């Protein structure tokens, strides 16, 4: 008889952030022959768990990030505060191969569904729609309690949009249908606001709306030095407490018996 026995063979302590990716993306954490770590997709794409070289500029990291760069700096929820630390952009780094694995390298209309938020329809990826619907339910309650919030929902920038980020060749998060932009009239964007050659963080969006999105796995562009306050992006790995906790995975050994 051949049977499987689950045993601990020098339990492998995968980095918490890597282990956590398995909860939110179709990848498996693996150990490489050189002793390093990686995330592997079902079709064999291997993304090493590493970061860019020390001393790299933010632009260099954004253009060629490693998986560990996703978590640097740490995204933190809580009271809205001005972002004054230069290049403090938690969550602005994206690994396109990871998003491709989850949502497809080329999102098509059949991948999208419409979600009504604040009376407006947003086209988003079907995998993101359940979380956005939960946000919409919470926002409906908030607006019923405080109608003044509706101004932040009017004239939205929209959802799915296959484009690159302004001034770059990088794909926007909207290209995968994982981001929505609320009111453009109430928004502030770092490229629009430069005072004396220096950008100055500015925001109108209220805490309750930010909290509603963050509670369902969406990060907010208002927590960036390169701020984009209408922008909310589904990045559940950055808001999952398990990503910060030590994780050990078991190895499986195949034994034979008769």
Helix/strand/coil for 17? helix
> At residue 138, what are phi and psi to the nearest 5 degrees?
-70, -40
Half-sphere exposure of 61 (CA within 13 A, CB side): 24
Tokens standing for 137?
A: 């339910």
Query: From CA 49, how far away is CA 27, in angstroms rounded?
Result: 12
Which CATH architecture is the domain 48-242 placed in? 2-Layer Sandwich (3.30)
Q: What is the pLDDT of residues 40-58, one digit of tens each?
A: 999 999 999 998 878 899 9
The answer to whether 186 and 205 are in contact (CB under 8 A) is: yes
Reading the chain (258 residues) residue by residue, the pLDDT tens digits are: 333 343 334 455 899 999 999 999 999 999 999 889 999 999 999 999 998 878 899 999 999 999 999 999 999 999 999 999 999 999 999 999 999 999 999 999 999 999 999 999 999 999 999 999 999 999 999 999 999 999 999 999 999 999 999 889 999 999 999 999 999 999 999 987 655 556 689 999 999 999 999 999 999 999 999 999 999 999 999 999 888 754 444 333 333 333
- The pair phi, psi for residue 131, each rounded to 5°, is -65, -40
Which one, of 149, 247, 141, lies nearest residue 205 by Cα? 149
Q: What is the pLDDT of residues 160-210, one digit of tens each?
A: 999 999 889 999 999 999 999 999 999 999 987 655 556 689 999 999 999
Peptide bond into 140 cis (omega under 30): no
Count CB neighbours of 176 within 10 A: 27
Considering only CA atoms, which of 233, 251, 243, 255 is closest in space to residue 94? 233
């Amino acid at each position: 008889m051949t049977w499987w026995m689950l045993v601990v063979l020098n339990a492998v302590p995968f980095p918490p952030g890597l282990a956590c990716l398995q909860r939110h993306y179709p990848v498996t954490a693996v150990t490489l022959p050189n002793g390093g770590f990686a995330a592997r997709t079902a079709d064999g794409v291997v993304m090493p768990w590493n970061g860019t070289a020390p001393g790299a500029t933010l632009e260099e990291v954004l253009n060629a990030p490693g998986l560990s760069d996703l978590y640097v700096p740490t995204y933190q929820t809580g009271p809205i505060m001005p972002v004054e630390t230069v290049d403090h952009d938690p969550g602005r780094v994206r690994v396109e191969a990871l998003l491709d694995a989850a949502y497809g390298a080329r999102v098509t209309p059949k991948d999208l569904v419409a979600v009504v938020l604040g009376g407006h329809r947003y086209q988003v990826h079907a995998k993101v729609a359940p979380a956005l619907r939960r946000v919409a339910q919470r926002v409906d309650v908030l607006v019923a309690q405080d109608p003044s919030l509706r101004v932040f929902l009017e004239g939205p920038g929209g959802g799915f949009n296959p484009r690159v980020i302004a001034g770059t060749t990088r794909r926007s998060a909207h290209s995968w249908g994982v981001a929505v932009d609320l009111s453009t009239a109430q928004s502030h964007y770092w490229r629009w606001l430069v005072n004396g050659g220096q950008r100055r963080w500015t925001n109108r969006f209220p805490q309750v709306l930010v909290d509603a999105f963050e509670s369902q796995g969406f990060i907010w562009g208002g927590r960036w030095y390169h701020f984009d306050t209408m922008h909310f992006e589904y990045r559940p790995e950055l808001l999952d407490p398990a990503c910060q906790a030590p994780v050990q995975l078991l190895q499986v050994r195949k034994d034979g018996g008769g």
